[in-house]
Amino acid sequence: MCLLHFQLRGHTIIPLIGGATGLIGDPSGRKTEREQANATHVEKNVNMLSDSIKTFFHRGLAYAESRLPSASESIFDPEVKNNLEWHNNFTMLEFLRVVGVHARINTMLSKESVKTRLESSAGISFTEFTYQLLQAYDFYHLHRAFGCTIQIGGSDQWGNIVAGLEFINRLSPSKPSKDDQKAFGITTPLLTTASGEKFGKSAGNAIWLNPQLTSIFDFFQYFLKVEDADVEKYLKVFTFLSLEEIEVIMKIHKLEPDKRSAQRRLAAEVTELVHGVQGVKRAEMITNTVFRHPNAKSHMLDADSLIDAFTDDPRMSWCQESELTSVPVMKLASKYGLVPSTSAARQLIQSKGLYFNDHIVPDTHFTMNKTHLLDGRAVMIRAGKDKVILLATPHS
For the chain, what is the total number of helices (H) and then of strands (E)?
Answer: 17, 9
Angle in degrees, CA 35, 39, 42, rounded to 5:
80
pLDDT of 178 reads 60
pLDDT at 63: 93
pLDDT value of residue 300: 62
User: Mind listing the pLDDT tens digit for each residue in 88-128?
Assistant: 999 999 999 999 988 888 888 888 778 888 888 778 888 88
* Predicted pLDDT at 67: 85
Using CA atoms, how far apart are residues 149 and 185, in angstroms rounded to an integer?
8
Q: What is the pLDDT of residue 174?
A: 62
**326 half-sphere exposure, CB direction, 13 A CA radius:** 5
Query: Burial letters for 222-238: b for 16+ Cβ neighbours within 10 Å, e otherwise?
Result: ebbebeeebbbebbeeb
Residues of the chain with pLDDT under 70: 26-37, 70-74, 173-179, 200-205, 292-300, 396
The C-alpha atoms of residue 116 and residue 111 are separated, in whole angstroms, by: 9
Residues 334, 339, 344, 349, CA torsion sign: negative
User: Could you tell me which residues are beta bridge partners of residue 154?
Assistant: 188
Query: Is there a contact between 267 and 283 (Cβ–Cβ < 8 Å)?
Result: yes
Tell me how far apart the alpha carbons of residues 33 and 182 are, in angstroms, rounded to a whole number: 34
CA atoms within 13 A on the CB side of 14: 17
Rounded Cα distance between 14 and 3, Å, is 8
Q: What is the pLDDT of residue 68?
A: 83
pTM for the full predicted model: 0.80
**pLDDT at residue number 39:** 80
Compute the distance between CA of residue 193 and CA of residue 186 in angstroms, rounded to an integer.
Answer: 22
Could you tell me which residues are beta bridge partners of residue 390?
316, 380
Q: Please give the DSSP secondary-structure letter assigned to residue 380.
A: E
